[in-house]
Amino acid sequence: MKITEVITHPMKVQLETSSWTAHEISNVATLTLFEVRTDEGLVGYGEVQGGPQKIICELATQYSDCIKGMDPLAHLDIWEKLFASTSPRPGGLGDWDGLPAPLPRGQRPQAMAAIGGIDIALWDIKGKAAGLPIYKLLGGSRTSVFTYSTGGYYVEGAPIEACAEEFALYVEMGYRAVKVKTGALGLEKELVRIKAVREAIGPDVLLMLDMNAPYGVKDCINFAKAVEPFNILWLEEPLHWHLQPADYVRLAEGSPIPLAHGEREWTRFTIRDFIDSGALGYVQFDSTRHAGFTESLRIAHHAEQRGVMIAPHTAPQIHAHLASAFGDAAFGAESHGGHDRHPIQHGLYSECAHAQADGMVHLNDNPGFGFEIDFGYVDSVRL
């Protein structure tokens, strides 16, 4: 079996309501579907949440030429070959070795996203070729994987406690864990929001805080101590983007709440240093943002050995397979109970693993990642 083509389908939907994290505004939803075709008719699908989509798709076209004719089951060879395009390669100049000329530094995030989309699709092919769902291919057996719902995005003009109703609804839907966006407002106002959410969901539902990197170490320690009475499971992305593992170690020493990090790291090499620092309780790499399922699997193995819980970021239809395979070493997969947050993910798949009323993601027995694509929907939101 050989790869014949990589095709991308960039999609975009205007959101009805704009909302904020502590870091950025969202007024559109975007997603790029990757399709890897083979000469034996097997087709694999992957998805990428990243941008600019135009650059990601252009890189995917270049990569398609690079891997045409390769065995799609040789995912490690393909990953390493494409990853090599992000760095200089001694021995010649330009595209002398069959790869694109070394990419500009500014395109590295998009390159890692394109590699990720292709890699996820290759794993989908691998499962289909074996006739097995990915979780079984990896040795997993659980068809039900714990999940939580993220919400509480900031909406300009909304009452400060408005998100409490949202999370009460998620609990009614069956979620037994929820994650609140925080960090955008001053501490006093955030305490009002967090208190309202805890009262709305009750004492037994797990509560996490997604901070989107608003603090330095000292201020974050103060924040952690202030929110501790609300029984917080983890603080996610608590520190400014430029702070490193040594800073997380200082925070962990002063915080009464475990730390989570990893969704914006590009490779296993930087995540490794955060894991090895001992500062993290949870690691959250995202296959659909950077580097794909192969890199997530490498990170998961390393985290398991170091005693750090695996909690992949978003895309439960993909990451629940990983969580299933790692059993008790995985916390679970992230979902969005509010479908208006990621309408493309909910419209794209006519069949896939999804959260149900018992607060679990249920995996089907279909080979690969177990999803079917609604190409009518794809055409309706295509860029």
Which residue numbers are catalytic? 313
Q: How far apart are CA 379 and CA 346, in angstroms?
A: 15
State the sign of the Cα–Cα–Cα–Cα dihedral 307, 286, 147, 139. Answer: negative
Q: In this structure, which amino acid lies at residue 54?
A: K
Quick check: 60 and 119 in contact, CB under 8 A?
no
Name 136's Cβ contacts closer than 8 Å, sequence gap at least 6.
none
**Spacing of C-alpha 48 from chain mean position:** 9
**3-20/25-38 β-pairing:** antiparallel
Q: What are the φ and ψ backbone dihedral angles of 51, each rounded to 5 degrees?
A: -160, 175
Name 137's Cβ contacts closer than 8 Å, sequence gap at least 6.
126, 127, 130
- Residue showing tokens 């864990």: 177
Instruction: Using alpha carbons, list the distances in angstroms from residue 315 to 253, 319, 338, 355.
Output: 32, 6, 14, 11
Tell me the two tokens of residue 337.
């109970």
Q: How far apart are CA 276 and CA 7, in angstroms?
A: 38
**Spacing of C-alpha 350 from chain mean position:** 21
Can you list the alpha helix ranges (DSSP code H) found in the chain?
Answer: 53-67, 75-83, 108-130, 134-137, 163-173, 187-201, 217-227, 245-254, 268-276, 292-306, 316-325, 343-348, 375-381
Quick check: 111 and 100 in contact, CB under 8 A?
no
Radius of gyration over every alpha carbon of the chain, rounded to an integer in angstroms: 21
Quick check: 373 and 45 in contact, CB under 8 A?
yes
Q: Among residues 32, 119, 33, 130, which one has the least CA distance to residue 78?
A: 119
CA angle 124, 175, 230 (to 5 degrees): 125
Q: How far apart are CA 212 and CA 261, in angstroms?
A: 10
Q: How far apart are CA 241 and CA 209, in angstroms?
A: 17
